[in-house]
A and B are shown apart, each in its own frame.
Chain A
Amino acid sequence: MAVLLYKNTKVAVQGITGYQGSFHTKKMLEYGTNIVAGITPGKQGMEVEGVPVYDSFEEALKHTEIDASIIFVPASFVKEAAFEAIEAGVKLLVIITEGVPVWDTAEIALKAKEKGVTLIGPNCPGIITPGQAKMGIIPGNIVTPGKVGVVSRSGTLTYEVIQQLTNAGLGQSTCIGIGGDPVHGIGFLEALELFQNDPDTEQIVMIGEIGGTAEEEAAEYIKENITKPVVAFIAGQTAPPGKQMGHAGAIIMGSRGTAQSKIKALNEAGVPVTKTISEIPEILLKNKNK
């Protein structure tokens, strides 16, 4: 089963003619992703890696159905691209682009919610369902099909964790990089819910970072709703206190937002938080052999 993305999901690539768009289209096709259309305004009639390019969703939809879209366009064009995809009726939207203004993402996230679209990103590595399909930039050669669901706020750190899982013989059901921006699409809660309801997922790995309160909220959620074993890692335990937020930020968070508070909240929810990445597969293997 896995979650959100499957072999037959019909995917469009927005910004397919760009440097990143064309490179990763090739990689996604190689992995087996069912890419049915590319969208770049003004480039209709071209082909990228054998994928037909259209000016707009309206044009593309004359030729094919589209279930999901992935965005590689520059930050200043992301809002327009995302609205076009949402209004065209996609069910899953992945935004890889980094540097999208917070207020643009907010508009996109609210629109996606209104239309019932699952949004992943921006500033994220995307999603991969091993053995089926990928939307994004997670290297296909490090994943392997299996029963561990992975959700992460980070990019390269996710690769690190996945690689170590694969090396330990622990395959993955689906890996989701939710992105590191303050405003983003689906978060830990939604991903945890998806994995909880997925019969193919037996255990869950959650990779968090300092800042915000998403991990604390996930801990609360796990306590009430998640019966599958969860193992967590929090990056940035030694990072200096954030320079980003002023007083008002510090106040609602209080001691929340620090690595210590995240670890405490997760531990209280029965979630082990590992000190090193190599401990993650160790705990998963122990759980598996229980």
Chain B
Amino acid sequence: MGMLYEFEGKSIFKKHKLPLPPSKVVTSVEEAVKAAEELGLPVVIKAQTLSGKRGKRGLIKKVDTIDEVKEKSAEILSKESDGRPIKKLLIEKVVPIKQEFYASVMVDGSHVALLSMFSPEGGMDIEEIAKTKPEKLEKIMFPMDIKPFGYRFFPALKRQGITGKDMVKLAGFLKKLVEIVQKEDLTLAEINPLVLTEDGQYLALDAKVVVDDNASYRHPEWKEFTSLIDRYTKEEIEAKEAGISFVELDGEIGMIACGAGLGMATMDLIKYFGANPKNFLDVGGGASPEKVSKALEILSRDPEVKVILVNVFGGITRGDQVALGIIDAIKKFNIKIPIVVRLIGTNQEEGVKILKEHGIEAYTEMEPAIKKAVELVKQQKK
């Protein structure tokens, strides 16, 4: 699942003619000034980041003059978010707001349902609304294949005191949001705030959109969404390109597993026995020696990795292939970090033999192997 930048999410809204305030994406102070002049002051400068609470973090600024545009856009562009420099700003025309609402649609997988939420208390954290004013939050569940007609939203809107033309307009907006989620392979579309302007228009002032990565093959237009790449570190991208799923963490043990569940359980046990995993890494089923070698290469470059732990239960994965990958990496990248290997399953004997010939005694059980890796970390700390 990939979260998009606000302006990317809005581009999907725009395609479906969901009303938005006029805006432009810029990457420099000069462009910001030009955009502000074209849109007309005042404007709002919004950092394009993947984590929320931008207002509180000083990453959204309303400005009234060109001097302010220069000052504030330079200030925001000098900042970081999620450990990365902020590269893009959305310059948006200020609209006169009469009322703020909250609206979202998300996939509720375990019920094969869509959850549509609405509140007349927009602008604030939705968690906050749910906690302090639950009566102001409407939650409507639909089957995922629902035909999203406007009338389905009337009862919820009426409960919130919205009637007449406003009810019809808002229902149309909510219906559209469901349609967009259904048609664009999204798992979440959230608008907070959705605003009613002084001149009676409903506009999406923000956009939080999550796309389903599995559907990217049928969305060539997603290639332009840099958010889908920016969320990874350089190493994570390198791993991704090799077909490895890899998430960096803070710890001492570099971990390689075949399978996500086994990987997560390995991380848990590392912690349980008293150390910390430096990463989550899953080489997947049927890993080739090249893939295993690549995984070791990535981990061995990290100076914080004190021990490497390989945990393989071969189903589709073959033990000899894993062993060949380990030996290849040790030689090719001259790895000096201790490596603890647990190897069991398909072609176990062949794999264990290859490792033994190169001086590595493989474990057959998972927990003793993890304990050993933790012990090695503790020894190094002494």
* Residues of A in contact with B (beta carbons under 8 Å apart): 75-76, 99-104, 106-107, 109-110, 113, 125, 137-139, 142, 152-160, 163, 180-184, 187, 207, 209-210, 212-214, 217, 233, 235-240, 243-252, 254, 275-278
Contacts and interface: CB of A to CB of B under 8 A. Distances in A.
A233 to B, nearest CB: 8
A181 B267 contact: no
Contacts of B139: 252
Interface residues of B, number: 62
20 contacts: A99-B214, A101-B212, A155-B285, A157-B259, A160-B265, A163-B313, A180-B260, A182-B1, A182-B107, A214-B110, A217-B110, A235-B261, A236-B268, A238-B277, A244-B210, A248-B117, A248-B188, A250-B127, A252-B115, A278-B367
B187 interface: yes
Contact of A245 (B188, B212, B344): B188
Contact of A154 (B109, B110, B214, B260): B260
Given A138-B315, A156-B258, A245-B106, 13 more contacts: A103-B212, A110-B144, A137-B315, A155-B315, A157-B264, A187-B110, A233-B265, A235-B268, A239-B267, A248-B115, A248-B208, A251-B117, A252-B108
B84 to A, nearest CB: 13
Nearest to A103: B185
Nearest first, the 3 closest Cβ-Cβ pairs linking A and B are A154-B261, A156-B259, A182-B109
Interface of B: 1, 3, 52, 104, 106-110, 112, 115, 117, 125-127, 130, 139, 143-145, 182, 185, 187-188, 190, 192, 208, 210, 212, 214-215, 217-218, 231, 247, 249, 257-262, 264-265, 267-272, 276-277, 280, 285, 313, 315-316, 344-346, 366-367
B287 to A, nearest CB: 11
B209 to A, nearest CB: 9
A289 B144 CA distance: 47
Interface centre among B218, B262, B276 (most CB of A within 10 A): B262
Contacts of A183: 107, 109-110, 112, 144
Contacts of B260: 154-155, 180
Given A235-B261, A236-B268, A139 B247 contact: no
Nearest to A156: B259
A155 B316 CA distance: 11
A159 to B, nearest CB: 5
Nearest to B250: A240
Contacts of B107: 102, 106, 182-183
Contacts of A99: 214
B210 A156 contact: no
Contacts of B267: 236, 238-239
